[in-house]
Amino acid sequence: MTADRPMTSFRVPLALVLVMVAMLLAAGCIAETSRGTGLENTSARATTPAQTQCTAINNTSYWITIDPIGDKFIGDKFSVIARTNIPVGEEILAEIATTSTHCTKAKCYFVDENSIVKVVEDIDCFNKTIVNVNASTYKQNEYLVRERSATRNTSTYLLFNILSTEVITIRTVSNPYNESSFKAR
């Protein structure tokens, strides 16, 4: 009954679209292989060196962004990494300070560390700064890390937490079921 029926007006465009998609996919696979990204052996080809020089962008303002730090524990050693478009070799003032002061009867505690770091080259045409932090003398608190350039009029900050030493508590629970309770009665 359906073998004698001609294709309806809906089926003809659908069939044409499917044929076109199949041709485009086949053409893409052939083009990929011809560019050397297929599974063929390309070891005999000459390779071109990767571009290593970035073009300067003169019409943008300077910026610094600090990578997320996350929570750390007292005694951790970690690095604060910031990305920037400030030129390599320039100096950045890096500051780490508590956001509040802890006072006891004996004394008040306030961390305020300053260091000057140089901008170094990074990947993807951006530069970076690295500040190594040893949190062995830190107290449990919220901290602010701030980086600023004196010559480029830009700065940024990020908050992170120092938590007390990680304590893992293992509780032993007695088993209320013994083997006799599982025996057939």
**Identity of the highest mean pLDDT range in 39-48, 94-103, 135-144:** 135-144
Does 145 fall in a domain?
yes
Q: What is the pLDDT of residues 124-139, one digit of tens each?
A: 778 999 999 999 888 8
Specify the pLDDT at position 4: 61
- pLDDT higher than threshold 90 for residue 46: no
Range of the domain at 69: 64-163
Place of tokens 């080809």: 45
Does 131 fall in a domain?
yes
Does 176 fall in a domain?
no
Specify the pLDDT at position 32: 43
Choose among 142, 120, 123: nearest CA to 131: 120
Does 170 fall in a domain?
no
What CATH number does residue 106 fall under? 2.60.40.10
Positions of E strands within the chain: 64-66, 72-73, 77-84, 91-98, 102-103, 108-109, 112-118, 120-121, 127-134, 141-149, 154-163
- pLDDT higher than threshold 80 for residue 13: no
Average pLDDT over residues 67-72: 94
Among residues of the chain, what percentage have pLDDT more than 70?
A: 58
Mean pLDDT of the chain: 74
Does 120 fall in a domain?
yes
Number of domains in the chain: 1
Specify the pLDDT at position 158: 94
Average pLDDT over residues 68-82: 94
Average pLDDT over residues 144-159: 92
| Helices within the chain (DSSP H only) | 11-34
Distance of CA 108 to the CA centre of its chain: 36
Specify the pLDDT at position 127: 94
Specify the pLDDT at position 11: 74
Specify the pLDDT at position 64: 95
Does 34 fall in a domain?
no
Does 102 fall in a domain?
yes
Does 128 fall in a domain?
yes
Distances (CA, A) of 17 to 8, 11, 20, 23, 25: 15, 10, 5, 10, 12
